[in-house]
A and B are shown apart, each in its own frame.
Chain A
Amino acid sequence: MKNALKITPSGDRDLVMTRDFDAPRKLVYDAHTKPELVRQWLLGPPGWSMPVCEMDVRVGGKYRWVWKKDTDGSSMGMGGVYREVKAPERLVSTEKFDEAWYPGESLNTLVLVEQGGRTTLTQTMRYESREAREAVIKSGMEQGVNASYDRLDAVLAAKATTTPR
């Protein structure tokens, strides 16, 4: 398959994603650092949009992302801090979901290498522990989405018992 995405566990607590893009790395870097571009592609499962996408891309700067499921309004947020910013080749940031289903935060390192107008992206996610990495692999974003549903269920159940008929 052309430009196939590879994800492999590496060492004790890393997950490494690699993928090629038919574009110079400056554009790939822009697509990862400019909010108006990020919110066009970083959407997760179908049916989700990204109403909040704030990014202060400099060392020590924060970012905040929130996704929303358009059909029922459930949402999921995450954010972190930029640790290294080296355009257009390297971006290191921390990442933590609001309702994380795994312990600690992850340290994400994005590396872009350009060759002949094409770019190889390598994204390394280092988790706090092997257990945290497993929790992420086993459930991915789905779990986060389910957590939102569970919350919604709880709200609806509470409403059903307290609302007089």
Chain B
Amino acid sequence: MKATHRLDAIFAALADPTRRAIIARLASGQAAVNELARPFAMSQPAISKHLKVLERAGLISRSREAQRRPRRLEAKRLEEADQWLERYRQLWEGNYQRLDVLLDKLKTQEKERNHQ
């Protein structure tokens, strides 16, 4: 898969709250499908569908070790998506920190005006 399509698949996968919850659960260790289905009011096939989306995005994989084939998180892939967002975030954070300073100045000016 081309890098751009892969990132697209990751964001599409993470756009759904159930799939984000599955990711959060797998972050604390691998789990089988029935374990993953338990906290949700969902059938196992419905959960399997979500797992397939996550798998296609490369965010989770299946372990071969046991018959129940537990899913585990592919943390590296998740980090990749995070890093791109992080750079973009830093750019805006720089702007907003300047805005913080400006707003403080404006607040002080307004107070002084009200006192006069």
Contacts and interface: CB of A to CB of B under 8 A. Distances in A.
Contact of B100 (A3, A30, A42, A133): A3
A164 interface: no
Say what secondary structure dominates the interface of chain B: helix
A136 B88 contact: yes
Interface residues on B, range: 20 to 34
A10 B96 CA distance: 21
B28 interface: no
Nearest to A46: B94
Interface residues on A, range: 35 or more
Interface string A131-162: 10111111011100000000000000000000
B21 interface: no
Interface of B: 4, 7-8, 11-12, 14-15, 84-85, 87-89, 91-96, 98-104, 106-107, 110
Given A7-B88, A9-B14, A28-B99, 14 more contacts: A9-B11, A22-B103, A22-B104, A23-B104, A27-B103, A27-B106, A27-B110, A40-B98, A41-B96, A41-B98, A45-B91, A130-B12, A134-B7, A138-B7
